[in-house]
Structure 1
Amino acid sequence: MATYQELLAQKADLEKKIESARKQELADAIAQIRSLMAQYGLTVADLGGKTGGGKVSTTKGSKVAPKYRNGATGETWTGRGRQPKWVEQALASGKSLEELAI
């Protein structure tokens, strides 16, 4: 029966072989994919992947200054999205958005 140290050495050797086999199989798969892409004239964009060259929006997630204020409560609204209830109520009572503008 093998000793603990021998088994650990076998385990380390096996892990190296596993990693080597994995790298080789990945390299083969990538080569095969590149060959098929060249054969059919495909690009990464054709596959639905990201090319990395696209323009990134700088305004996404940024805060917008409020445009309208409720004089009674101080609530504000940017003018984007659904109107808050206080805006709907003010408009229903005859006020205009210009009157609520900051």
Structure 2
Amino acid sequence: MASLKDLLAQRAALDQQIAETQDKERSEVINKIKALMAEYSLTIADLSSRQPKVQKASKVAVKYRNQATGETWSGRGLQPKWLKAAIGAGAKLEDFHV
């Protein structure tokens, strides 16, 4: 069975080996990145200035309109309060169809 002193020495050696391997791999990756940047004529500014394309939400045609107020609803999502109130008062959904 190894003593505590031996185990600590092994851990120190492993920690140093890990640090050396990390430095080596990091250098290799940096060199690959530099080569790719040179190949494609990229700069640091190119890496940070590119924004991902955001798709615009498509507009949905209006399906229901409150003739009294002009409020509209596309039929998607929860019914608006004005439509709920009108249906609660006895109107039919078809009465508001555009």
- TM-score with structure 2 setting the length: 0.49
- TM-score with structure 1 setting the length: 0.47
Which structure has the bigger radius of gyration? 2
